[in-house]
Amino acid sequence: MQRLISVGLAALLTAPGVFVAAEEHSGESHHGSHRFPHHTLGVFIGDTTEGRREEGLTLGLEYEYRATERWGIGAIAEHVWGDFNTNVYVVPAAFHAGPWKLYAGPGIEDGEHGSETLFRVGIEYGFHAGAYEISPQVDVDFVDNEELFIFGVVIARPF
């Protein structure tokens, strides 16, 4: 798992430059026209479950920088109450296809019993409501040979 996190972090650090170069080379760069928001800040509310054994209310903040229309990199900070009482931090890379967003990245679960590395994958679908975006979201965190499922909604403001 540690090797997976290291490879993931290296990929995330180099990804924005690679994505920008690839789109500029293909003639799809939109930097001059600004047809998409480069920054998005959102609030997450949801539920984290581990099978039927444990669950907890999850609140978080999410930020994403979109280097191109299709690719972005973000930061997620969440707190999970209830049976977990932990903080979760994730650095995901995201792929956008219309209203769909697919993302994955390494992270850390920091709780009462110490810190553990994790890897998150997720999907969301964005609905526009004026200047805001409301996105139902489903994530899976792989941590310590277990899978935790996170269901919720993000209310975000692109800018």
Q: What is the pLDDT of residues 75-122, one digit of tens each?
A: 999 999 999 999 999 999 999 999 999 999 999 999 988 999 999 999
Mean pLDDT of 47-66: 93
Q: Mark 46-66 as b/e (b = at least 16 C-beta within 10 Å).
A: bebbbeeeebbebebebebeb
CA pair distance 35, 87, nearest whole angstrom: 35
**Which residues, including other chains, have CB under 8 Å from residue 105's CB and lie 6 or more apart?**
8, 12, 74, 90, 91, 92, 93, 119, 120
Instruction: Identify the band that residue 25 occupies on the pLDDT scale cut at 50, 70 and 90.
Output: very low
Predicted confidence (pLDDT) per residue in 60-83, tens digit: 999 999 999 999 999 999 999 999
Closest C-alpha among 129, 58, 70 to residue 96: 70
Q: Which residue matches tokens 């956008």?
A: 96
Reply yes or no on whether the pLDDT at 21 is more than 80.
no
Percent over 90 (pLDDT), the chain: 72
| Domain enclosing residue 99, as ranges | 2-158
CA distance to 59, 81, 101, 111, per residue, from 12 (Å)? 24, 29, 16, 25
Considering its fold, how many domains does the chain have in total?
A: 1
Predicted confidence (pLDDT) per residue in 128-158, tens digit: 999 999 999 999 999 999 999 999 999 999 9
Reply yes or no on whether the pLDDT at 43 is more than 70.
yes
For residue 115, the model assigns a pLDDT of 96
Question: Domain of 6: which CATH number?
Answer: 2.40.160.20
